[in-house]
Chain A
Amino acid sequence: MKLLDEDSRFLEGDVKETMKSDSQRFLAGHVRDLPKSGIRDFFELVSQMTDVISLGVGEPDFVTPWHIREAAIYALEKGKTSYTSNYGLLKLRRAVSRYVTGQFGVDYNPDHEILITVGVSEALDTALRAIINPGDKVMYHEPCYVSYNPSIALAFGEAVPVETSAADQFALDPAKLEAAWTPGCKALILNFPTNPTGGTLDRPRLERIARFAVEKDLLVLSDEIYAELTFEGTHGAIASLPGMRERTIFLHGVSKAFAMTGFRIGFACGPAPLIEAMMKIHQYSMLCAPILSQEAAWEALERGGDSVARMRDQYRRRRDFVVRRFNEMGLPCHTPRGTFYTFPSIAATGMGEKEFAVNLLREERVAVVPGTAFGPCGAGFVRACFATGYDQLTEAMDRVERFVAKPSVCHV
């Protein structure tokens, strides 16, 4: 099929490259050289179209449970409109402490081992800035959340990605991690369950990775944002393993499990010297997280368990449906044990992942995200999010099926 202009520009990774004006000379080199997010480009493309069923989202379709919204309204009525402690409200830090102990089995002191941040996004950025000296290497597994690589670059670190594969259900193979290590590696970012693959880590692997971290004296940044959305087995936090608490910054937040992305609340837990260092950056760049959101997060952590369980059940049922449909139509897809993402292989269509995404969007108006938006080893895959009602999901899957069955799609 003939590609429209924007499509080909997107395929060449050059959507909306606007006038290279003279103002560019004001930019810092490392920012100018930062590649644009593949997600952003695709968003531009989708936003020009109507009637799209989007599986390209990265957040829940549920509105924040009412009792949590009501807590924010109540706080506003009570005139809670001030700054808070730089660390965040003490009552929220206490709630975080109880919650993390209860759910993950790790104890943190609310006084100086917990920092409330503006989402895990800020927590991750602040942690990286607090630990990286220029040139320090940070390891992480790919495909991964889009911000890891740029956040490392913005902190003048050097990214050391380690590939994960469909054959391994996108778990991190400890042997590959060990092989990728070189002197100068200082930290390791882990995110299980993983955005975009839904990969999880079993206990033996987690333990082996922990032993490796101890052996190489790596600091682990564990992004636990999808922990509650684990469907099978129990999620183990690496910080709970022997010797790991002292070398782990535990990052978590309320965005995904509590359907609170717009509230922008995350938290970092770790040894006091690390949290204090992060607090210094947070204090000067953010001052504090918004108080109304902190109040809502308190309600979520203290009383949100049932809401989370209800949403998780929904996600699990939707996952089963979507995974089955992808496999039926000849797009091999492993069953993610966590998150609300599926990561099917589209290699059998003979198309590249970007071409697949663009053509699917043009011909059937379904949006999925090309796997390479999450790292080069996402080639041949797309991310399809199932945080959407059945009405839309059933229709979207029928459309994808029709698309891959078309004679123009060559099956290899």
Chain B
Amino acid sequence: MNQVLQLLLDGEKLTPEQIGKVAGLSRGEVEKEFRALEERGILLGWRPVISPNAELENTVRAVIEVKITPEREGGFNRLAERIARFDEVESCHLMSGGYDLLVFARGRNLHQVASFVSEKLSTLEGVLSTATHFLLRSYKEQGYLLDVTGLEKTRPDVSP
């Protein structure tokens, strides 16, 4: 794998300079690499991973199972892409099994998510049904454990 991308994925917070030092590239080359990854549609963007628990004060997150009617041409794509465009939708996936789309949605409060579901989502032509589940508490987010009270360092500084 691309070494710059690998370093980003390892999840250590590194500056472009540090990445450059590790990968043996100049800062300019690292930034060029970032741009190339973006242009190829591999790196979609940059944002910090925030604890959902910290966010819950003023955010509501929901997981919505959506059943939709596939179309003769394009199957589920047209409708899925249309749903994905709503600001409330964080991510949207076509699933195997008992429903078609799994939608992660967020809003400022219960009311906002509810009105998105009842007024926008379920009224779309082709949407057969929805089942909305609200997130209560999170334990792990994008590979990061929440509420770990820090591992204690036990490794001695010098050992054989």
Contact, CB under 8 Å: A391 / B12: yes
Main secondary structure of the interface of B (DSSP, over half): loop
Contact, CB under 8 Å: A389 / B12: yes
Contact, CB under 8 Å: B158 / A391: no
B36 → chain A closest CB, angstroms: 20
Tell me the complex Cα distance, A389–B24, Å: 17
Q: Tell me whether A65 is interfacial, beta carbon within 8 Å.
A: no
A321-B154 CB under 8 A given contacts A147-B160, A390-B14, A391-B14: no
Given contacts A39-B158, A59-B155, A314-B10, 14 further A-B contacts (CB under 8 A): A39-B160, A43-B156, A46-B157, A47-B156, A54-B157, A57-B157, A58-B160, A145-B160, A262-B154, A317-B7, A367-B158, A389-B12, A390-B10, A391-B18
Tell me the complex Cα distance, A43–B158, Å: 5
Size range of the chain B interface in the assembly:
20 to 34
Q: Given A43, A314, A325, A389, which contacts B159 in the complex, CB threshold below 8 Å?
A: A43
Residues from 319 to 358 in A contacting B, C-beta threshold 8 Å: 321, 324-325
Contact, CB under 8 Å: B22 / A146: no
**Closest chain B residue to A391 by CB distance?**
B12
CB-CB under 8 A from A42, the residues of chain B are 158
Residues from 43 to 61 in A contacting B, C-beta threshold 8 Å: 43, 46-47, 52, 54, 56-59, 61
Q: Tell me whether B136 is interfacial, beta carbon within 8 Å.
A: no
Residues from 121 to 160 in B contacting A, C-beta threshold 8 Å: 151, 154-160
Residues of B within 8 A of A (CB): 3, 6-7, 10, 12-14, 18, 21-24, 151, 154-160
CB-CB under 8 A from A240, the residues of chain B are none
A366 → chain B closest CB, angstroms: 11
Size range of the chain A interface in the assembly:
20 to 34
Q: Tell me whether A103 is interfacial, beta carbon within 8 Å.
A: no
A56-B6 CB under 8 A given contacts A389-B12, A394-B21: no
Q: Tell me whether A369 is interfacial, beta carbon within 8 Å.
A: yes
Tell me the complex Cα distance, A145–B160, Å: 7
Contact, CB under 8 Å: B18 / A390: yes
Q: Tell me whether A167 is interfacial, beta carbon within 8 Å.
A: no
Contact, CB under 8 Å: B159 / A390: no
